[in-house]
């Protein structure tokens, strides 16, 4: 009979998620920098906080909540696009890169927001959407008027006298990526929606325009750029016939052309280096080498990138296997251990909510499982990206019928499924689970009408669970998801071992527990995460060497010599000898 030593490690006292600060260890790496060490918070501006009652979040709302943002301990904010736009793709269709869409406020409001963040030591990352513009951008309007127009070559065209262009996949348009323009008798390319024509990066004039736009914002004081859909910027402009079925692997076929690296080097010299800003690419090609080619320091292209390998794992209600999840994170970590730097994220505005996809959104487990996932996110090597609302455990909404959807991606998927005669009930089930709309619902501030987001009619319905999940209520509860998040961010900020330390996966094959160590010089931490809704045990020799418990989302730790039994979604970090 095993003698259970129920180590009531009440080092944790009353607060289940209290953190202990160990002495800060300086990084051993000589290229430490703020964009590696910080924690990034992503704000989807139309859903964060409305201050004028029009139902859309605005800069005023961010200004009002600056203290809240600071209270999270985050050191960077990335905000989704707020530029002038017809809003076909919620701002990822920019019609004037130097102007602000009035629904967010004015340039003065922007400056006030930026200054407010910076005075709190928070850097600002701007979304740069330059794989494509809006079809309402002056460049495109002019380009569409004649082949002789000076802006015609700012876009990609297929002259109709050559016949129809070879099929090219569009991410949003079920009919493909080419659309006909009468006045020029040519087809223009749009990797995304019809209203998002691709810019021609092979044209040096266009590239200079983009650098000028980036300089404009750098001069206003932004600290970094998130390059939207950037792996697709350079194209093979012969537009060859691609093999049948290639669209299943379209990143491989359309992304990461060699010329992209020339353009990035040029951008680095023109903008990144002189303005001392940083840039992160959305997407990183289809191999580890592709990612390294974008971000390795000596390449002088970008500083970091994020890849989709694990978010792609959980796009359907079928879910994912923990072993695969571990394998992906471990492979990427290993590859970037010596060189290069990546972002770590589990959710953003393009995916369903974190807790629905990787945790357990049932009322019983959503809090603990979100705490567990946030512990994971904040204890990996790489820069953690947290999406607004995930610090509370906000969940998906229920949208069973297509009439409720406004997102262009969801509507495109629906039309494609219809055209393919898919089982539409099944399709709606998957869409309801996976659509981007899940992650775009208004921030849940309190339990007053519309969750305190707006006094007007919210642009998107508020999740009906806002009375149980909101900032005001979680603020008061020391055991809440929010306070656990704050503790974890503070803990990471104070412990460079979590930023720079070596990562070692333990018991890769354990199907329920993710266990790993982080080690930097004499600092050693063991991270233990139960990914299931039941108790689960693991045996590890490191458990004999525990110094103290630093993070725990439960009151207790159940350790018997070298075996630990974790409660459902229990997340623990201990220091070890």
Give me the least distance between CB of 353 and ligand NOJ, in Å please.
15
The reply to whether 309 belongs to the active site is: no
Identify the active-site residue in 127, 282, 290, 390.
282
Residues 396-415 that bind ligand NOJ (CB under 6 A): none
329-353 b/e with 16+ CB inside 10 Å = b?
bbebbebbeeebbbbbbbbbbbbbb
Based on the shown chain and the rule CB under 5 A, indicate whether residue 407 belongs to the binding site for Ca ion: no
Burial label for 455, CB within 10 Å (0-12, 13-18, 19+), is middle
Report what 56 binds from Ca ion, ligand NOJ, none; CB cut-off 5-8 Å by kind.
Ca ion
Assess contact for 242 and 295: CB atoms under 8 A.
no
Q: Closest-CB residue for ligand NOJ? A: 92
Report what 209 binds from Ca ion, ligand NOJ, none; CB cut-off 5-8 Å by kind.
none
| Candidates 47-55, 275-283, 370-378, 478-486; binding stretch for Ca ion (CB under 5 A) | 47-55
The residue among 50 and 282 lying less far from ligand NOJ, judged by its C-beta, is 282
The residue among 263 and 365 lying less far from ligand NOJ, judged by its C-beta, is 263
Structure token digits, residue 253: 């076929």
Structure token digits, residue 179: 């659309």
Report what 25 binds from ligand NOJ, Ca ion, none; CB cut-off 5-8 Å by kind.
none
Q: Is 73 left (phi over 0), alpha (psi -120 to 50) or beta?
A: left
Sheet with 536-539: list strands edge to edge.
536-539, 563-566, 558-560
Structure token digits, residue 496: 């460079």
The residue among 187 and 192 lying less far from ligand NOJ, judged by its C-beta, is 192
- Which residues on neighbouring strands pair with residue 306, listed in sequence order? 282
CA dist list (Å): 387 to 299, 352, 392: 29, 11, 10
The residue among 349 and 496 lying less far from ligand NOJ, judged by its C-beta, is 349
User: Around Cβ 211, how many Cβ atoms within 10 Å?
Assistant: 19
175 Cβ contact list (under 8 Å, min separation 6): none
Q: Which of 350, 468, 512, 563 binds ligand NOJ (CB under 6 A)?
A: 350
276-298 b/e with 16+ CB inside 10 Å = b?
ebbbbbbbbbbebebbbbbbbee
Q: Which of 192, 310, 405, 569 binds ligand NOJ (CB under 6 A)?
A: 192
Based on the shown chain and the rule CB under 5 A, indicate whether residue 50 belongs to the binding site for Ca ion: yes
Q: Which of 9, 74, 100, 229 binds ligand NOJ (CB under 6 A)?
A: 229
Based on the shown chain and the rule CB under 6 A, indicate whether residue 194 belongs to the binding site for ligand NOJ: no
Q: Which of 52, 142, 330, 537 binds Ca ion (CB under 5 A)?
A: 52
Give me the least distance between CB of 392 and Ca ion, in Å please.
21
Residues 129-158 that bind ligand NOJ (CB under 6 A): 129
Report what 350 binds from Ca ion, ligand NOJ, none; CB cut-off 5-8 Å by kind.
ligand NOJ
Sheet with 304-306: list strands edge to edge.
304-306, 278-282, 224-227, 123-128, 76-79, 40-43, 383-387, 343-345
Give me the least distance between CB of 446 and ligand NOJ, in Å please.
28
Rg (CA), the chain: 24
CA dist list (Å): 355 to 42, 317, 367, 397: 16, 12, 9, 12
Assess contact for 569 and 530: CB atoms under 8 A.
yes
Give me the least distance between CB of 247 and ligand NOJ, in Å please.
17
The residue among 82 and 178 lying less far from Ca ion, judged by its C-beta, is 82
Round to whole Å and give the CA distance between 559 and 533. Answer: 19
Report what 84 binds from ligand NOJ, Ca ion, none; CB cut-off 5-8 Å by kind.
none
The residue among 88 and 566 lying less far from ligand NOJ, judged by its C-beta, is 88
Identify the active-site residue in 198, 228, 333, 409.
228
Give me the least distance between CB of 66 and Ca ion, in Å please.
17
One-character DSSP codes across 85-115: ---TTTTSS-SEEEEE-TTT--HHHHHHHHH
Based on the shown chain and the rule CB under 6 A, indicate whether residue 89 belongs to the binding site for ligand NOJ: yes
- Smallest CA-to-CA distance from 91 within 142, 143, 122, 47 is with 47
Report what 89 binds from Ca ion, ligand NOJ, none; CB cut-off 5-8 Å by kind.
ligand NOJ
The residue among 57 and 116 lying less far from Ca ion, judged by its C-beta, is 57
Based on the shown chain and the rule CB under 6 A, indicate whether residue 343 belongs to the binding site for ligand NOJ: no
The reply to whether 282 belongs to the active site is: yes
The residues that touch Ca ion, with contacts defined as CB under 5 A, are 50, 52, 54, 56, 58
The residues that touch ligand NOJ, with contacts defined as CB under 6 A, are 89, 92, 129, 192, 228-229, 282, 349-350
Positions annotated as catalytic residues are: 228, 282
């Amino acid at each position: 009979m095993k003698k259970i030593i129920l180590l009531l490690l009440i080092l944790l006292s009353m607060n289940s998620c209290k953190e202990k600060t160990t002495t800060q260890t300086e990084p051993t790496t000589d290229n430490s920098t703020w964009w590696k060490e910080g924690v990034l918070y992503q704000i989807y501006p139309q859903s964060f906080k409305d201050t004028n009652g029009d139902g859309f979040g605005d800069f005023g709302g961010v200004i009002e909540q600056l203290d809240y943002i600071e209270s999270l301990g985050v050191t960077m904010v990335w905000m989704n696009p707020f530029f002038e736009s017809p809003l076909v793709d919620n701002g990822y269709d920019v019609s004037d890169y130097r102007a602000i869409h009035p629904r967010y406020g004015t340039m003065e409001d922007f400056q006030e927001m930026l200054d407010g963040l910076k005075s709190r030591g928070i850097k600002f990352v701007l979304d740069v959407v330059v794989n494509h513009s809006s079809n309402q951008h002056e460049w495109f309007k002019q380009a569409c008027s004649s082949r002789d127009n000076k802006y015609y070559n700012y876009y990609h065209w297929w002259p109709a006298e050559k016949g129809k262009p070879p099929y090219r996949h569009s991410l949003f348009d079920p009919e493909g990526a080419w659309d006909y323009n009468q006045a020029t008798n040519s087809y223009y390319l749009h990797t995304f929606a019809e209203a998002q024509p691709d810019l021609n990066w092979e044209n040096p004039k266009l590239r200079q325009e983009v650098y000028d736009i980036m300089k404009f914002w750098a001069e206003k004081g932004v600290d970094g750029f998130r390059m939207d859909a950037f792996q697709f910027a350079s194209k093979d402009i012969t537009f060859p016939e691609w093999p049948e079925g290639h669209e299943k692997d379209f990143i491989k076929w359309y992304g990461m052309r060699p010329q992209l690296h020339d353009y990035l080097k040029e951008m680095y010299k023109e903008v990144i280096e002189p303005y001392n800003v940083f840039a992160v690419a959305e997407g990183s090609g289809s191999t580890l080498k592709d990612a390294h080619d974008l971000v390795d320091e000596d390449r002088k292209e970008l500083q970091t990138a994020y890849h989709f390998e694990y978010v792609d794992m959980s796009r359907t209600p079928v879910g994912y296997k923990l072993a695969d999840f571990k394998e992906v994170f471990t492979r990427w970590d290993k590859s970037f251990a010596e060189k290069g730097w990546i972002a770590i994220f589990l959710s953003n505005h393009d995916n369903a909510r974190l807790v629905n996809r990787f945790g357990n959104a049932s009322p019983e487990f959503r809090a603990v499982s979100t705490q567990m996932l946030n512990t994971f996110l904040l204890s990996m090597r790489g820069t953690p990206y947290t999406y607004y609302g995930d610090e509370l455990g906000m969940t998906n909404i229920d949208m069973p019928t297509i009439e409720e959807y406004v997102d262009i991606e969801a509507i495109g998927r629906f039309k494609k499924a219809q055209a393919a005669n898919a089982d539409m009930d099944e399709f709606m089930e998957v869409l309801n689970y996976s659509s981007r709309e899940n992650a775009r619902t208004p921030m849940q501030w309190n339990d007053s009408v519309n969750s305190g987001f707006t006094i007007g009619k919210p642009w998107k319905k508020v999740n009906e669970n806002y009375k149980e999940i909101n900032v005001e209520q979680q603020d008061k509860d020391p055991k809440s998801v929010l306070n656990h998040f704050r503790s974890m961010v503070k803990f990471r900020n104070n412990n460079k071992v979590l930023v720079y330390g070596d990562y070692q996966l333990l018991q890769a094959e354990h199907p329920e527990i993710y266990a790993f160590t982080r080690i930097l010089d004499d600092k050693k931490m063991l991270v233990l995460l139960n990914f299931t809704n039941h108790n689960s045990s693991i045996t590890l020799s490191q458990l004999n060497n525990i110094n103290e418990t630093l993070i725990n989302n439960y009151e207790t730790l159940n350790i018997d010599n070298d075996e630990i039994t974790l409660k459902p979604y229990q997340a623990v970090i201990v220091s070890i000898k």
